[in-house]
Amino acid sequence: MNRSNIILVFAFFILSLSLLNCETDAPKVTTTSTEALALYHEGVALAEKFHDADAIEKFNTAIELDTTFAMAYYHLSRSYESAGNLAKAKESINQAKKRSGMTTLLEWRYINAWDRVLENDYTGAIHKYQEILEEHPNDRHALFVIGKTYRLARNYPESVKILKMLIDKYPDYAPGYNQLGYTYYEMGDYKQATDMFSRYAQFEPDEPNPYDSLGDMYRAQGKYQKAIEQYKKALEVKPEFYTSFRNLGLSYFGAGKYDSAIVTYDKFLETVTDKKLIRDANTDLVEIYLALGQYNKALDNIQKVLELSETPLRRSWAIAKKGYIYYLQNNFPAALNQLNRSMTIYPEAIWAREWRGLVLLKQKRFDEVLTEAEKMKTLIDKYGLQGYRCSYSNLLGRAAMEQGLYDEAIMYFKDSMELDPSSCRHPMAIAYFKKGDYQRAIELCQQILNNNKNHALTHLLLAQVYEKQGKTEPASAEYRKFLDIWEGADEGLPELVLAKNALK
């Protein structure tokens, strides 16, 4: 073969490699160390399986070997965000940005887009990801992250479109099914979500996260027993998969299996040392003890949460929750003191506005309640806090009910339930009870008890409804169920006094 033919063959070989690289899902990564590169790829593989702690260790070791390794910082940031450490995630992406002069254009676009995601600028992030896809239409990571970003931005049709494209191109890429499952899950399409999570589990049978994802989907539908089964499967695969540990506790709580929930959290707290995980477990325990009427224990747990809350926002929430517990104890001066303190630390604390409104409502300060509601609406509109629309409608509904405007109250509760079907069933049942529509009140109580047979305050309300109907035996049975559930409740609570007096 003459020299010119050799050159032509070599050129064709290089062109073929270039074309293959256009189809690859793993673009070249800029680093000065082959050892760091190997650790980086190990970290990416671990991150895709949600082994965040192990992935973080790999990326940090890679960075020790090559301090200029921008993409290692990028993926380190993503792993920190996945683990719930937003401060570390932002710190890592800032380190990646400082090394922008040592990256390719593609790498810089990834870094810049993720930086925007961390700042909740989804539109800006999507624009950068689209620039990547224009030049690299088969870039697997780009398809994955833009599909996820559309989901975060609640643009579900585009998220479905991109993620379907991803799994069409890469049918063996398990994370694609997980992400598409969560898009369907947030859309309320549980059938499609179940299908995606089931396919995800088929690809990763020896990983805990597919079972955890299925558990999340069942828990969202109130199918707590099915959720419990999935979380247990996840923990059989990996006992230290703490996400499933906590979700198992939440499922027991949702099902009204309070003793099992407390045992789960106690076991969880024996095994973890991470401050964030300890804080979150104590946060959940607060809700369990509130459901049991054990407000003093809830105060102990919220104090632990406060001690482990490092940011003003988290401290504000913990202090406000303390105020809410005082409200439940009818200690209104202490409640207002904590809620005002919460807003001093974080002036836009919408949670404090809601709970402050409830305290003012008990004091019949109706104009001030409406002022708090308007401030909530302003914050919702300003920051897009759609999740708080339920709380806003709940506060207005309770205010109307307290003034005897039961139809208006029911209207507000229905508004809330359109956003979250389980959000206001109990107060709406109270409104129907006070209105005298006992049948509708009973129906709503039964809906609550279908999901949680140990919802104590629902048993108490049902007892009062039956009592009004002159159904003495069913009323007594419901009062006893309430007292059984609240057996360990704080002494002297009005609800306890009411139930005990009814059984005399």
The two tokens of residue 302 are 């919220």
State the pLDDT confidence band at 8, using cuts at 50, 70 and 90: very low
CB 355 within 8 A of CB 362: no
DSSP state of 155: -
User: Would you put residue 84 in left (φ > 0), alpha (ψ -120 to 50) or beta?
Assistant: left
Which SS3 state, helix, strand or coil, does residue 209 take?
helix
Alpha carbon 14 to its chain centroid, in Å, reads 48
Closest CA to 55 of 35, 82, 85: 82
State the pLDDT confidence band at 27, using cuts at 50, 70 and 90: low
Angle between helices 494-502 and 456-468 (to 10 degrees): 40
Residue 290 has pLDDT above 80, yes or no: yes
DSSP state of 121: -
State the pLDDT confidence band at 16, using cuts at 50, 70 and 90: very low
For 293-306, the pLDDT digits (tens) are 999 999 999 999 99
Nearest 5 degrees, angle CA 169-CA 173-CA 178?
Answer: 115
Q: What's the rounded Cα separation, in Å, for the pair 265 and 141?
A: 36
Which SS3 state, helix, strand or coil, does residue 346 take?
coil
The two tokens of residue 384 are 């897009």
The average pLDDT across 145-153 equals 95
For 446-475, the pLDDT digits (tens) are 999 998 999 999 999 999 999 999 999 999
For 78-108, the pLDDT digits (tens) are 999 998 888 999 999 999 999 988 899 999 9
Q: What's the rounded Cα separation, in Å, for the pair 442 and 423?
A: 17
Which SS3 state, helix, strand or coil, does residue 139 take?
coil
User: What are the Cα distances from residue 424, in Å, to 9, 421, 427, 439, 498?
Assistant: 72, 8, 6, 17, 23
pLDDT score recorded for residue 26: 54
The average pLDDT across 482-500 equals 97
State the pLDDT confidence band at 28, using cuts at 50, 70 and 90: confident
CB 300 within 8 A of CB 329: no
For 245-257, the pLDDT digits (tens) are 999 999 999 999 9
State the pLDDT confidence band at 420, using cuts at 50, 70 and 90: confident
List, in order, residues 6 or more apart from 478 with CB less than 8 Å away.
Answer: 459, 460, 462, 463, 466
Residue 279 has pLDDT above 80, yes or no: yes
Q: What's the rounded Cα separation, in Å, for the pair 136 and 52?
A: 27
Q: What are phi and psi of 255, to 5 degrees?
A: -85, -5
Residue 10 has pLDDT above 80, yes or no: no
- Domain boundaries in the chain? 448-504
